[in-house]
Chain A
Amino acid sequence: MFARAIKSIDHLNRTLGHAVAWLALAMVLLQFSVVVLRYVFSVGYVPMQEAVWHLHGLLFLLGAGYTLLSDGHVRVDVIYRDASPAYKARTDLAGCLFFVLPVCILTLFVSWDYVLRAIYDFESGIWVLERSPEFGGLPLVWAYKAVIWVFAATLALQAISMAGKALSYLLGRAATYPPDLAKGGERT
């Protein structure tokens, strides 16, 4: 059961990460188009420039869990690099339980109102659906803010998966730690 949950989490974040990676290219091409339009034809579209900013945020917020999956978050590896698998598993287990999960829960907790206020005003019962303050800007600021929730949630899920993998190694149910990333088609 638990092993299957780990697999589904990894699958979710890997799929999300692979999809979101294309946003990096989209960002480059869109920003380049903005530059050509602005400097050659002297036209500027506010929504295009704002779309680039939104892509930038989506890139790192939605990619954070995937980056944790493929061990892309930088470590101070003076000790860690040459340590035993058991040491690595213990460090990762403790880090996930005491650092990543609490921080994700804290982030969800403190951002709850912040994001909701951009969507719906409970006192007056009005849908706020916050939009860009710029004239002609994108009407999606509320959705963009809500991505903070997705960020905390996907990261928390990935931390659970990572903790699970470390635990199953420590309990002797897995042969190696960290699990072979190459099998998942990943590399850092």
Chain B
Amino acid sequence: MTTLPILLCVLMFASVCGVLVLGFPVAFTLAGIAALFAFVGAFLGVFDLGLLLAFPQRIFAVMSSEVLVAVPLFVFLGVMLERSKVAEDLLGTMSQVFGARPGGLAVSVTLVGTLLAASTGIVGATVVTMGLLALPTMMRAGYGHAFSSGSICAAGTLGQIIPPSIVLVILGDQISIAYQNAQYSKGIFAPDTVSVNDLFAGALIPGLVLVMAYLAYQAAYATLNPARAPAVKNGPDRSVSLRGLASALFAPLILIIAVLGSILAGIASPTEAASVGAVGALMLAGHRLAGARAPAIVVAALCLIMLLVLTALFDLRVQREALPVAELFAFGGAVLLAGGLALGIWSALRQTYRARDESGERVLVSVMRSTLKISAMIFVILIGATLFSLVFRGLGGDKVIEDFLQSLPGGTLAAVLLVMAVMFLMGFFLDFLEIVFIVVPIVAPILLQMEVAPGQLMHPVWLGVMMGINIQTSFLTPPFGFALFYLRGVAPDAIGTPDIYKGVIPFIGLQICVLVALWFAPELATWLPTTLYGR
């Protein structure tokens, strides 16, 4: 290979990074620069423009991907919980209950972050919500500025790594494509598959380990520095708030367990579970907006539970010749219950349509429009990145990177470390999506052909989880971490930027510990998917 295409690849990558910082939307910058370099390459005779004819096929693949359908559904779920203030209620109740203990407010921020994370996975939304709600409370209670802002930023980024999160759906999709390519290159034509379910299962334990580490740190900090994490005085009546906690927690917890459980148990695909979660969020929101006086919605929730029981007890398949009498009754009951469910959904739709948010827009309408914008944003970036990697490959860039990674003196460890370092640096100025869309298709097929131990190939789930936690850490790292920007945007002036920087450092340390632990004990990520799905 001559040096010209290599030079073009390097230039292309460098100009994307350079131009992105100027601030034009990422999706179009990626696609535009790719198009530009395709024509320059063709002009210099090192790029075949015919390759671009594959572009519409790639777009169509995004349009007809069974996995990516889950993304708009999860977005709808998350935005609905945010706009209907279910999240606010959660945080309020939690801090009432835990606030009476030293460090309790920080603990409730972490717990709410975990719960929200498990349903949305939108970093900005979580950090902003908690920055607006929890930060003033913590300051009033006399919490240290650094400690409170660090806790909020860290809790906000949990959304990416704790399933079911949107970024894990996307990362899973990309990793599974990369894994297939890696196996084809190895000459395996009946490849193993790795799915989004595998990645969800793989990320669960490391994610929970992170949460535990956060909580342990916060408890230790509160014990060592009681002055900076004091108990909230004149705490509320505990018996009342425990009941409040139960009622505020109950429904969201059920929702999360239902969504995550059905995916992990292998019963439902992420798309199916996401739609159940979205309808659940709709009902929760309707209930909340009706001031908890929405009998139709409560009845519908009961109908849903009874429907599940009925399904478990009876055989309700309709396409059969003869039905025993008992099953006929069960079938009739199921139809009735489904009707009750539909009525409840209708009622929830009416409640969310009638209610208006602070800017005077109908909640349902604003949720739909936000879902549209966030989905369009995600998929247009995906389309732009597709064009980018198409051109990058056409110029021979993947070959260059492959040769380079394989020639590194330190073997697999060096290759993984290098890729992780590059992704970490990219996390300073790119969002999760762009990094995943640009880096994974190019490096993952190469890394997945490398051996971690003699005769043992790298596990795709492990690689995905490592990448996920790595980028999450990068979002926390000063001076450019995304979460820090979001918090800076909503934090009162009394909190200085150095406070935020100081506050996140311990959490970065914890993240790095988990990454190191994953390196030495890959089972943290691979055990659950192997146990659940046997691969």
B419 to chain A, nearest CB (A): 21
Report if A73-B318 is in contact (Cβ < 8 Å); known contacts: A24-B72, A60-B375, A67-B373: no
Residue in A closest to B17 when the chains form the complex, CB atoms: A76
Task: Check A72 for interface membership: any CB of B closer than 8 A.
Answer: yes
Q: In the complex, A25 Cα to B59 Cα: how many Å?
A: 23
* Cβ–Cβ contact B275 & A32, under 8 A: yes
The total of interchain contacts (Cβ-Cβ below 8 angstroms) comes to 216
A64 to B383, CA, bound (A): 11
For chain A, give the interface size range. Answer: 35 or more
Task: Report A21 CB to chain B, min CB distance, Å.
Answer: 4
Residue A150 interfacial (CB < 8 Å): no
Q: Which of B24-32, B100-108, B161-169, B449-457 binds A?
A: B24-32
Residues of chain A contacted by B23 (CB below 8 angstroms): 75-81, 83, 88, 91
Task: Please tell me if B3 contacts chain A, counting CB pairs below 8 Å.
Answer: no
Contact A21 B53 (CB under 8 A): no
Q: Does B334 belong to the interface (CB within 8 Å)? A: yes
Determine which residue in B29, B316, B433 has the highest number of CB atoms from chain A within 10 A of its CB, and name it: B29
Closest B residue by C-beta to A107: B55
Return B510 CB to nearest CB of chain A, in Å: 26
A75/B26 contact (C-beta < 8 A), A24-B375, A28-B275 known: yes
Taking each of B53, B63, B68, B319, which has the highest tally of chain A beta carbons within 10 Å of its own beta carbon?
B63
Asked whether B492 is an interface residue with its Cβ less than 8 Å from the other chain, the reply is: no
Task: Give B319-352 as 1s and 0s: 1 = Cβ < 8 Å from A's Cβ atoms.
Answer: 1000000000000001000100100010001000
Q: Give chain B interface residues in 40-95, CB to chain A under 8 Å.
A: 52-53, 55-57, 59-60, 62-64, 66, 68-69, 72-73, 76
Contact of A99 among B31, B276, B430 (CB under 8 A): B31
Residue in chain A with minimal CB distance to B55: A110
Residues in A neighbouring B157, C-beta threshold 8 A: none
Q: Determine if B20 is an interface residue (Cβ-Cβ < 8 Å).
A: yes
User: Chain A interface: which of B113-121, B139-147, B229-237, B363-371?
Assistant: B363-371
**Which of B276, B317, B376, B387 has most chain A Cβ within 10 Å?**
B376
The CA of A18 and the CA of B32, in the complex, are separated in Å by 28
- For chain B, residues 4 to 47, give those with C-beta under 8 angstroms from any C-beta of chain A: 20-29, 31-33, 35-36
Check: A31 CB closer than 8 A to any chain B CB.
yes
Q: Is B444 an interface residue (CB 8 A)?
A: no
Say yes or no: is B379 at the interface (Cβ < 8 Å to chain A): yes
- For B415-455 the 0/1 string (1 means CB < 8 A from A) is 00000000000000111010000000000000000000000
| Contact pick for B72, options A56, A76, A98, CB 8 Å | A56
Q: Which residue of B lies closest to A65 (CB)?
A: B376
Q: Which residue of A lies closest to B271 (CB)?
A: A31
Known contacts A21-B372, A110-B52; is A28 also within 8 Å of B278 by CB? Answer: yes
Those of B267-291 within 8 Å (CB) of chain A: 267-268, 271-272, 274-276, 278-279, 282
Which of B68, B317, B371, B373 is most buried by chain A, counting CB atoms within 10 A of its CB?
Answer: B373
| A100 at the binding interface (Cβ < 8 Å) | yes
CB distance from A185 to the nearest CB of B (A): 8
What residues on B are CB-neighbors of A80 within 8 Å? 22-23
CB of B359 within 8 Å of the partner chain: yes
| Chain A residue contacts of B35, Cβ below 8 A | 102-103, 106
| Other contacts beyond A59-B72, A59-B376, A111-B55: 18, CB < 8 A | A21-B369, A24-B72, A27-B72, A29-B279, A39-B267, A40-B310, A42-B316, A42-B319, A63-B375, A63-B376, A74-B26, A75-B24, A88-B23, A95-B25, A99-B29, A102-B35, A103-B32, A114-B53
